[in-house]
A and B are shown apart, each in its own frame.
Chain A
Amino acid sequence: MHDPTKPDLEESVNVTEAHERVLRGAAAASRENRLTENGAEPVSMWVMALCFIPVMFAGWTAFGYGTPLFSYKDTVREGYVQVIPPDDDGAKAEPMTAVLAYSKKGAKIYSKCSGCHGPDGKGDGNAYPSLAGSAFAQGENERFAMIVLNGLTGPTSYGKTFGVMPAQGAGMSPEDLACVMTYVRNNFGNKVGDVVSKAQAAEAIKISAGRAKAGAAVTGDELNADHKKTLSGAAVKADDMVDPITLEAVAK
């Protein structure tokens, strides 16, 4: 570049030519428009009207839901968490026969049993006896309940001694017991056709706790001597219509 203090003495560079060279390389930069921003159009009414829509929505959001504003104490808004109200449609399912409703719930509880007795209830004939066709399972319901609650040792109703069945009663509610017993008595080819009601199951739990050898596994002899009877407590008929969730009777 030339010395700026002596512009007139510099003759070796033709300024126009030098510029041409640069501009040739920078064609895009040399054909640009000037930036102008002098537009002075007023903000039109319809833009204001359009902007009014978000203002309305924002006001509704902040003042309708965000109140009290800037209160650091209010952390939970009333009614934000939704719960199914007790008398709501959502809680009501189609009523079905008691034996079906109990069995449906029982099938889920039976998953505890299926590890040994198998998903088809047939056991393996060696260490685990079959529930299908079992006299204990299909016989008097108190006897069956004692086995479920306390486990079984010694000979079974087949006369054969399998392994020792551990007690299953811990943590079992009357409803659980009622359902799983109803399921076993009416599935795997068993067709007892009755329902073990929740009241009966509660009675069974009471009897189990009051046994002389409470906590120990029952034996076939004890069962036949003390428990070969039908449980007292309000019975439910197999074809009564019940709510599948609550298992309470519903009017037909």
Chain B
Amino acid sequence: MSTPSQTPVNDALRRAEIDLSLRHPVMFFFTSGAAWLAVAILLGIIASAKTHSPDFLSSCSFLTYGRVQSAHISALVYGWGCQAAFGALIWLMARLSRQECRAAGIILVAGHVWNFAISLGLISILAGEGTGMPWMEFPVFAWVPMLLAYAAIAIWSMVQFKLRPAGHVFISQWYILAALIWFPWVFASSHLMIHAFAGNPVMAAAINAWYRSGMLLLFFVPTGIAAAYYLVPKVTGRPVYSYSLSSLGFWSLAIIAPWAGMQKLAGAPIPNFLPYLGAAATILFAIPAIAVSVNLLKTASGAPETVANSPSLHFTLAGVIGLLVLGGAAVFLNNPAVLPGTQFSMANYGFDLLGLYGFFSFIAFGVIYFVVPRITRREWLSSRLIKMHFYFSIYGVALVVLVAVFGGAMQGIGLEAYKQPFEDAMTRANPYAVATTLAWCFLLFSNVFFFFHLTLMWLRLGRRSSHPTLLGAHHADDLHDATHGPEGDIDNGGPGTVIQNPHPHAH
């Protein structure tokens, strides 16, 4: 599909133009997403602390556990998760369809509407107006503006896909398009069913459970996978390992994921097959998880040195491993032997976090470390800040997920021992609750480095250099003066760098 006009220089120019056209909306989503992540983590620490120290901040009614926990998960999902996803989706689709964004202003306005809606929603939750339905806690007023804002953000990416140069559709584009279509389907149908139509309240709980699973498996998962399928071959310069695995991963997800979710209602008076079909589908989610992660890890394994050097790949591959773990956790937590015990324990929270943080957020960080230098035209200031962010995030998320999933299983065993007092189950869960608070503190600490670094980039204080900020050990000597880049290479970008490019035909 190389046309005569696709010379390396023209190619690089095209990429630069696309990046330029998207710099304001993408940077807005990344920075405001990061700010919401900070809010979500602070609320997470408070909420987690309250599970083992109920008197902590108990004097403020708006900081009671029910409100803080709801606010925490809402900020994490809609403030950080969705906005990071939007930024990644619009940037990736523009790049892959080779189309400049012609609606940056509209997207930016829609982004502000989204932020305004979730800010009001969050304040309402803290004021006690939350709906009490997990992941749908915003009061009824919020969902229509959110959906409209989403439409104004996403429609341009679909147009870009339609206008793409004829030819092959890259794997990431499958997933981006899927995420763009599945999000409004899951979001609108669930909110309509619950808020607009009067139905059986037990069924509303089941729809809510389906929504929570749908947001994770039908929006965050395809978005994360799309970004990973872009970043891994892009940064390593290697072809994707197996096209068959790519197809298997995509179509199995598309067929399986919509069935998942209602296992939360096992034992509730809804048709018996619904929860167990939901559990079976969630278990089967391990198949796309295995296919995608094996495919990407095999792709990356051919370029170990690039993996060691690249900040984007560090985060992306950590997220891919998170996806594999998510698949394993889906099998472990949803099989009938374990399901009754984990249904009401903190294991569900652990599973959500594993998906949202251990998988999705890591890939979102990978995208941010890749995209921000391109749209700000500055390099990241310090590899040390990136390393701190990476390792503390790994420790934090591993701790929080291990603790919530394993502690949830322990709590579940306690709950299942129905001949024993209820208090026993809570006593079993208590040390894990303390560890969860600690893990959130870890994550706060790690993200302080990220927030600081991103703010500097946002202020256009990044390095002006043609040399990327790398993590590898043999660069450590060059990077001793991290703010100025190696060998005094300040502002020396130019055609020379293009000629050195080993792969002249850039996408």
Contact = CB atoms under 8 A, between A and B. Distances in A.
Interface of A: 16, 19-20, 22-43, 47, 50-51, 53-55, 57-62, 64-77, 80-82, 84, 88-90
A22 to B, nearest CB: 6
B377 A27 contact: yes
Contacts of B53: none
Contact of A30 (B12, B235, B287, B418): B12
B280 A66 contact: yes
Contacts, number: 216
Contacts of B243: 37-40
Given A27-B497, A35-B170, A53-B286, A77 B267 contact: yes
B272 A28 contact: no
Nearest to B259: A62
Contacts of A29: 12, 15-16, 19, 374
Contacts of A28: 373-374, 377, 379, 468
A88 B419 CA distance: 10
Contacts of B428: none
B377 A54 contact: no
A157 B20 CA distance: 98
A27 B234 contact: no
Given A53-B286, A69-B277, A75-B271, A61 B336 contact: yes
Contact of B505 (A30, A34, A66): A34
A71 B339 CA distance: 21
Contacts of A72: 271
Contact of A42 (B233, B244, B465): B244
20 contacts: A22-B13, A23-B16, A23-B494, A23-B495, A25-B16, A28-B373, A29-B16, A29-B374, A31-B468, A31-B498, A31-B500, A32-B15, A32-B234, A32-B507, A37-B239, A41-B242, A54-B290, A66-B277, A68-B273, A76-B267
Contacts of B284: 54-55, 58
Contacts of B298: 41
A61 B280 contact: yes
Main secondary structure of the interface of B (DSSP, over half): helix
Given A24-B492, A37-B243, A43-B245, 20 more contacts: A16-B495, A22-B16, A23-B498, A25-B16, A27-B497, A30-B501, A32-B507, A33-B503, A35-B230, A43-B248, A51-B286, A51-B291, A61-B336, A62-B273, A66-B276, A67-B273, A69-B273, A71-B272, A82-B418, A84-B418
A37 B506 contact: no
Contacts of B236: 33
Contact of B331 (A32, A57, A65, A71): A57
Interface string B466-496: 1110000000000000000000000111110
B287 A55 contact: yes
Contacts of A69: 273, 277
A59 B336 CA distance: 11
B414 to A, nearest CB: 14
A72 B506 CA distance: 55
B373 A51 contact: no
A76 B269 contact: yes
Given A28-B373, A34-B503, A60-B336, A54 B331 contact: yes
Interface string B319-352: 0000000010011001110011000000000000
A28 B331 CA distance: 41
B294 interface: yes
Given A24-B491, A28-B373, A60-B335, A19 B13 contact: yes
Which of A39, A41, A81 has the largest number of chain B CB atoms within 10 A?
Answer: A39
B170 to A, nearest CB: 6
Contacts of A89: 419
B445 interface: no
B237 interface: yes
B497 A20 contact: no
Contact of B272 (A35, A38, A76, A84): A76
Given A43-B242, A51-B290, A64 B336 contact: yes
A26 B272 contact: no
Contacts of A53: 286, 331
A59 to B, nearest CB: 7
B291 to A, nearest CB: 7
A19 B267 contact: no
Contacts of B239: 36-39
Which of A22, A27, A69 has the largest number of chain B CB atoms within 10 A?
Answer: A27
Interface in B10-64: 12-13, 15-16, 19-20
A146 B188 CA distance: 68
A67 B274 CA distance: 10
Contacts of A24: 466, 491-494
Contacts of A70: 273
B304 to A, nearest CB: 16
Interface in B217-249: 230, 233-246, 248
A41 B244 contact: yes
B269 A75 contact: yes
Contacts of B507: 32, 34-35
A26 B299 contact: no
B270 interface: yes
Given A24-B491, A32-B234, A64-B336, A39 B240 contact: yes
Contact of A26 (B248, B492, B493): B493
